[in-house]
Chain A
Amino acid sequence: MFKVYGKMFLKTFFIQSLWNFERLQNIGFLFVLKPFLDKVYLNPDRRKEALMRHTGFFNTHPYMANIIIAITANAEKEIAAKEAAAEKLPDTNFIKSVMAGPLAAIGDSFFWGTLRPFTAFLSIFFVILFSKVLDPSYSWIVPFIFLFTYNCVHIPARYWFLSISFKLDKEMLAVVPKLEIKFLGDMARYTGFLLVIASLVFYFKIFGFSAVHTNFLTPAIPDAFVFGIVLVVSIIFGRMSATFMFYSVVLLCVLMSYLGL
């Protein structure tokens, strides 16, 4: 069975390969579950029934899906063990649909909304440092800092979600709220925000008060003055499209050059 779990874990990386607008991750889910169904359903007709059960709509966060996969696999094992149709069988689709939404919210908030920005901010902090303070010949380390810090949380978390959910089954749903994901998320967001502020301070110090780079207005006025205005405006108009803001800033720079500032 250990071989089957290993196979399932490797297959979880393909869960979104056949993502489609009609039923989203349904075939991806089936792809991960198939080695387990092959093992527990030796009768091809019953296996076909089981496979057909999972062709319906399914969507959750790709990392958190491992919890649902393991719990569904346990339910399928229970169904496979019961021969008579009259026996009370677990409703796997109900289990899937009930869990998908809340787990997607946790995954989106923690992995997409917190861990990814945190690791990106850490790398950005080093980009600023390598631009002047540290030796730029070692700047190749920056993308690896990002990839390493993200994946040293992501890959073990994915493995743990799958293995522990196989052991705990539905009790895992009671464990998830106790994981203090919200606290960890708050900590990471707060630390990430501090890194951004530190990066901003370094940026102002390196580029804002130096005459060697560029002069936005006159040499008498430091660039930090223009930086400050753009920073405040970009925070105020933060709701606007990033693309629009990007082109606006470039246009502003071209306009300043045209006016001879």
Chain B
Amino acid sequence: MIIESTVIFAIIAALCSADVTAFGQFMICRPIFCAPLFGYLMGDINTGLWIGMIVEMVWINAIPLGTAVPIDIASISINATFWACKYYPSIHEAAICALLFSIPFAYFYKEIDINGRNLNIGIMRWVEKGIREGKEHRINTGIFVSLFLFILRAFVFYLIVMFLGGVIFQLIYLQMPAFVIAGLKKAWYLLPILGFGSVIYNFKNIRIPFIKR
């Protein structure tokens, strides 16, 4: 493993999460990038690539359009890759089990994100009041405070989930019956097919260029 500390992994995860809305949108938050990144840092890039591929395809239509806040697929891929590579590297069944465990946490993170955006209303009003009173510097302060709080929220979430969730995942995986483990191994090969199906469904009304309808 290149980096041992969970704290450093939580910081990297928080920075990747900030890319979803708060800063840049360079797509470092996408599963196909952040899962292999974590896999590489933990010494098992191929597990990360496979997890990233599955999550990217299955949740292909999870797009933040307008005010909609979709499930946080970055946290699915980051947590699953982290747990799988830390506790059971290169074991496909464990990677699928980690994916199963990480999905409820992604819904939880979505709620945290919604609360954060509500908290931003207060910061926005504080900035507006400042402008009215001639304190223009509040615009910059408001932006950076909001960005800092976003990263802090994500960091605390990842730190707790990576550590506590990882311990629970490790214990539960060891207690699983043999037939469940065998089923998870099959799912490693079958889930990409679900992803392909999801992609084909979402792109079925494709227009062929050069042929006018």
Contacts and interface: CB of A to CB of B under 8 A. Distances in A.
Interface stretch (B6-14, B46-54, B158-166, B167-175): B46-54
A113 B96 CA distance: 27
B27 A246 contact: no
B59 A147 contact: no
B91 interface: no
A51 B58 CA distance: 43
Contacts of A112: 63, 65
Contacts of A257: 179-180, 182-183, 186
B117 A19 contact: yes
Contacts of B58: 242, 245-246
Interface of B: 21-28, 30, 32-33, 36-37, 40, 45-46, 49-50, 52-53, 56-63, 65-67, 71, 96, 99-100, 103, 117-118, 120-121, 123-124, 127-128, 131-132, 134, 136, 139-140, 142-144, 146-147, 150, 179-180, 182-187, 189-194, 196-204, 206-209
A189 interface: yes
A22 interface: yes
Interface stretch (A84-92, A170-178, A230-238): A230-238
8 contacts: A16-B23, A120-B30, A130-B46, A190-B206, A231-B193, A234-B197, A234-B198, A242-B60
A120 B56 contact: yes
Contact of B199 (A14, A27, A121, A223): A121
A18 interface: yes
Contacts, number: 253
Interface residues of A, number: 90
Given A124-B56, A246-B103, A254-B179, 17 more contacts: A13-B23, A17-B23, A17-B143, A17-B147, A18-B123, A19-B117, A20-B118, A20-B121, A34-B139, A113-B63, A139-B36, A200-B196, A216-B186, A216-B190, A231-B197, A242-B62, A245-B198
A9 interface: no
A51 B136 contact: yes
Could you say which of B45, B59, B132 has the most chain A C-beta atoms within 10 Å of its C-beta? B45
A140 B202 CA distance: 28
B25 to A, nearest CB: 6
Which DSSP category, helix, strand, loop or mixed, fits chain B's interface? Answer: helix
A196 to B, nearest CB: 5
A112 B70 CA distance: 13
Nearest to B49: A127
Interface in A73-121: 104, 108, 112-113, 116-117, 119-121
A183 interface: yes
